[in-house]
């Protein structure tokens, strides 16, 4: 059994993202691990393979693949860019040994 390359699987995931289902014309979705394996034509999804799919999907389609153990989510990278940042003082409130400044954290 020959599996799909990360590029081929990324292309399939992008096509699913563009497909109308679940009452939406296109958009984010969740896919079971077993279905992702089926799309990849692989019996096991290794961490390395998933990382390669993640990189390809991000760079070629601006989509993020998030591993949720028994399933995966695919969503636009622009959503993640809008997440709020945790300021250093909040982190310090939970970790008294934290000395990283807020300025250093903003560089991430």
State the distance between the two ends of the chain, measured CA to CA, in whole angstroms. 41
Domain presence at residue 34: yes
Is 66 among the domain residues?
A: yes
Residue count (the chain): 108
Residue by residue, pLDDT tens for the chain (108 residues) are 589 999 999 999 999 999 999 999 999 999 999 999 999 999 999 999 999 999 999 999 999 999 999 999 999 999 988 899 999 899 988 876 555 554 555 565
What is the pTM assigned to this prediction? Answer: 0.81
Does residue 88 form part of some domain?
no
Residue 87 lies in a domain: no
Domain containing residue 63: CATH number? 3.30.1370.230
DSSP label at residue 24: B
Distance CA 5, CA 79 (A): 26
29: β partners: 74
């Amino acid at each position: 059994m020959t599996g799909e390359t990360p590029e081929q699987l990324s292309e399939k995931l992008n096509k699913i993202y563009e497909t109308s289902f679940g009452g939406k014309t296109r958009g984010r979705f969740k896919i079971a691990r077993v279905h992702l394996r089926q799309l990849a034509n692989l019996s096991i999804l290794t961490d390395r393979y998933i990382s390669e799919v993640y990189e390809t999907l991000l760079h070629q389609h601006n989509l993020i693949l998030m591993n949720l153990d028994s399933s995966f989510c695919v969503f636009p990278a622009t959503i993640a860019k809008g997440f709020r940042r945790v300021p250093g003082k909040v982190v310090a409130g939970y970790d008294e040994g934290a000395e990283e400044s807020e300025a250093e954290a903003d560089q991430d």
